[in-house]
Amino acid sequence: KGLVHYWLTFNEINMIFHLPWMGAGIVFEEGEDKEAVEWKAVHHELVASAWATKIAHEIYPRNKVGCMLAAGAYYPYSCRPEDVRAAQLDTQHELSLIDVQARGAYPAWVKLMLERKGIDLGMTPEDKKILAENTVDFVSFSYYSTRCSAAPTTDAPRTQGNAFAGAMNPYLEKSQWGWAIDPLGFRITMNELYDRYQKPLFVVENGLGAKDTLVPDGKGSYTVEDDYRIDYLRKHIAALRDTITEDGVEVWGYTTWGPIDLVSAGTGQMSKRYGFIYVDRDDEGNGTLKRYRKKSFYWYKHVIATNGADLD
């Protein structure tokens, strides 16, 4: 009590629609209506989140409770109305759970969709009350890339293995795993979220997954010359600064993913590295587990020391 002031209820709550096991521990039984199972499960999460928000405020009124979204703006693949509509629908679906956590009720389209499909959430009057009266204090999110939406009739190349795989954006550089690198999209995403919810934002994940190579550091140890990671983070932090100073978006904080190399949750690979610290371990579990500071470690240490004022 009183020691931790910022709390999140469910991490990347929208992942239930992309990776149900990872997002909510769901194992479908044969013959089940998967969509119905997902919506019923996430309703329990939303109610639990509202209860947690209520209790956190009762325990310590200065506690701030947020939701957490795997975010990234959806661009239409083209200006064809069908592609624009596809992007609109993808955005609505992706933000539907945050709508409940930040606004206190399901969007009209969700209610209509559930009714048409005969999906009964088992919502009680108490559920409605707890959701309406206990919205989050801020919206937190992870951001790695934007996404591109195309209508089924659009012949568009697809992105590589990603939970949010969609049409490939031809205007953006790609990471080694096919993720679009889009600092301006980071700014666009933050503006969309702030305009929609009018609540402070908190960036809790942002980083680049890449293959790193150890090289001698000239001091009897090893390092990684990861200028590509520094470039990614520099451009994204600059976009964050512009979002705050030029667009007036209220952002409470920024944390990267992540400080140290670990197994990538999305691919199960150690070789997809995000950290400022290299860990000697390969995809087969072999290695000494020794740790080495990368070039980005020293760069980000300086960024922190200057509170983002100096990104060079």
Express each pLDDT in 137-147 by its tens digit: 999 999 999 99
> Which pTM was predicted?
0.96
Our answer to whether residue 205 is catalytic in this structure is yes
Catalytic residue (one of 12, 38, 45, 94):
12
Q: What are phi and psi of 16, to 5 degrees?
A: -60, -30
| pLDDT (average), residues 276-295 | 98
User: Which tokens go with 146?
Assistant: 């934007």
Q: Please say if the pLDDT value at position 161 is more than 60.
A: no
What is the arithmetic mean of pLDDT over 175-202?
A: 98
One of 38, 45, 94, 205 is an active-site residue; which one? Answer: 205
Res 209: pLDDT: 98
Q: Mean pLDDT across the stretch 112-122?
A: 98
DSSP H/E element including 291: strand 291-293
**295: phi > 0 → left, psi -120 to 50 → alpha, else beta; which?**
alpha
pLDDT digits (tens, 9 = 90+) for 191-233: 999 999 999 999 999 999 999 999 999 999 999 999 999 999 9
Give me the residues paired with residue 76 across strands: 149
The β-bridge relationship of strands 277-279 and 6-8 is unpaired
Report CA-CA distances (Å) from 26 to 15, 22, 38, 114, 190.
11, 8, 8, 20, 30
In Å, how far from its chain's centre is CA 249? Answer: 18
Nearest to 5 by CA among 66, 67, 68: 66
Which pLDDT does position 4 carry in this prediction? 96
Q: Is the pLDDT of residue 164 over 80?
A: no
Give the 3-state secondary structure of residue 18: coil
Confidence check: pLDDT of 74 > 80: yes
Q: What domains lie within the chain, and their CATH numbers?
A: 6-205 (3.20.20.80)
The rounded mean pLDDT for the chain is 96
Is 32 a catalytic site residue? no
117 membership: H or E segment, kind and range: helix 108-117
pLDDT of residue 153: 82
Do 210 and 226 touch, CB atoms closer than 8 A?
A: yes
In sequence order, which residues have a C-beta less than 8 Å from that of residue 55 and are 6 or more positions away?
none
Tokens coding 192: 């969309």
Compute the distance between CA of residue 76 and CA of residue 85 in angstroms, rounded to an integer: 8
Predicted pLDDT at 162? 61
Task: Find the mean pLDDT for residues 76-86.
Answer: 97
Confidence of residue 58 (pLDDT cuts 50, 70, 90): very high
